[in-house]
């Protein structure tokens, strides 16, 4: 039995509204980690939310009490002096007693970061004071210095608070997806040979769409309780097996990370906004730089290890690029393969 006249009218009106909606930015059809689930609150205490203007912008993880690891592209068009780092969160839309909020004293990106090809997409954030470690705020280990690359098929987890358009609410809490490591050779064939050896790929391992999406950038890919990857970029559609998710391979940067962390600290960035919103971590005491894992001092001291961002804010977007929603990083698309920085 066909629809009645009134029902046909409502149907036509619905179709007309859908057809006249403005197109969403690439990758914005998924409002959160794709194919994942909400984790138990504070079960991933190392997770970091990098925020600008009160909006979640990127992820990251806590390495030491004053050091966060994230993706370099998260700060390509942002003034870090206006950013905040939130620890101990599960739901971002409301204050939680477990949350600790910090300013950013310095952003140190890898000296060989190449935004056009996404190479060496990694940075360190120095917080303006030390986090208070506890059940809701903890550290995540790096891979061992002698760690071999992960084998294809290895099971890992990627987590984030990704919200991807002006019209999407934040997810109900921190989301996580189970993914499988993909051979770099196989992944590189999907990406037409554009990947470098210091990258890592994952896909769902089955026919489902599963992986990260916009505003998950900088979050860790956790394999065997260590951070083996940092969310960097993916294809036009989140979780699409045709364009596997690409991460910065953390094991390639362990020496550089510890070199930066152990050097004398750079001078703080001057703040350009008012005082930070009230938070519990003011003048915290205790282990100033709680260690996440053992490391040795035998690696060479690289005089180029510091590349501190001290630049004024720039207008989001550049030729060939476009914004990925309110509060998200600006995506740069350097070629027609629809690479999207998440």
> Among 79, 90, 110, 121, which one carries the catalytic annotation?
121
* 169 annotated active-site: no
Give the three-class secondary structure for 15.
helix
φ, ψ of residue 164 in degrees (nearest 5): -120, 5
* CB proximity list for 47: less than 8 A, separation 6 or greater: 59, 60, 61, 62, 89, 159, 160, 174, 219, 220
* 121 annotated active-site: yes
DSSP E strand stretches across the chain: 37-38, 47-52, 55-64, 67-70, 83-87, 100-109, 123-127, 155-160, 175-182, 199-203, 220-223, 226-234, 245-249, 321-323, 330-332, 340-341
* 217 annotated active-site: yes
Distance CA 50, CA 27 (A): 20
Neighbours of 157 (CB within 10 A): 18
Q: How far, rounded to the nearest angstrom, does the alpha carbon of residue 65 sit from its chain's CA centroid?
A: 19
Closest CA to 80 of 264, 295, 283, 273: 273
Find where tokens 């987590």 sit.
159
Q: Do the Cβ atoms of 57 and 247 come closer than 8 Å?
A: no
Distance CA 136, CA 97 (A): 10
Closest CA to 131 of 39, 76, 68: 68
> Among 217, 251, 295, 332, which one carries the catalytic annotation?
217
Q: Do the Cβ atoms of 66 and 52 come closer than 8 Å?
A: no
> Among 73, 110, 118, 228, which one carries the catalytic annotation?
73
Catalytic residue list: 73, 121, 217
């Amino acid at each position: 039995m066909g629809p009645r006249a009134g029902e046909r009218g409502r149907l036509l009106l619905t179709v007309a509204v859908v057809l006249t909606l403005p197109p969403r930015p690439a990758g914005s059809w998924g409002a959160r980690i794709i194919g994942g689930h909400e984790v138990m609150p504070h079960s991933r205490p190392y997770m970091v939310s990098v925020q600008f203007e009160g909006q979640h912008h990127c992820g990251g993880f806590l390495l030491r009490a004053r050091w966060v690891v994230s993706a370099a592209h998260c700060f390509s068009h942002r003034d870090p002096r206006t950013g905040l780092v939130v620890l101990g969160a599960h739901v971002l839309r409301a204050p939680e007693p477990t949350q600790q909020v910090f300013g950013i004293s310095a952003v140190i990106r890898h000296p060989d970061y190449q935004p056009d090809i996404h190479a060496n997409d990694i940075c360190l954030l120095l917080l303006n004071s030390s986090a208070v470690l506890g059940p809701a705020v903890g550290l995540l280990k790096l891979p061992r210095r002698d760690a071999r690359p992960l084998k294809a098929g290895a099971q890992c987890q990627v987590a984030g608070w990704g919200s991807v358009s002006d019209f999407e609410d934040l997810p109900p809490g921190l989301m996580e997806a189970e993914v499988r490591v993909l051979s770099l050779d196989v992944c590189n064939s999907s990406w037409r040979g554009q990947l470098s050896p210091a990258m890592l790929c994952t896909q769902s391992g089955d026919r489902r769409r599963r992986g990260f999406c916009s505003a998950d950038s900088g979050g860790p890919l956790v394999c065997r309780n260590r951070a083996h990857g940092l969310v960097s970029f993916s294809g036009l559609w989140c979780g699409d097996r045709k364009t596997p998710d690409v991460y910065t391979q953390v094991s390639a940067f362990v020496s550089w990370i510890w070199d930066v962390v152990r050097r004398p600290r750079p001078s703080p960035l001057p703040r350009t906004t008012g005082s930070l919103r009230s938070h519990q971590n003011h003048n915290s005491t205790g282990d100033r730089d709680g260690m996440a894992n053992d490391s040795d001092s035998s690696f060479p001291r690289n005089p180029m290890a510091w590349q501190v961002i001290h630049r004024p804010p720039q207008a989001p977007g550049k030729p060939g690029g476009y914004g990925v929603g309110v509060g998200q990083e600006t995506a740069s698309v350097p070629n027609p393969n629809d690479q999207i920085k998440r």
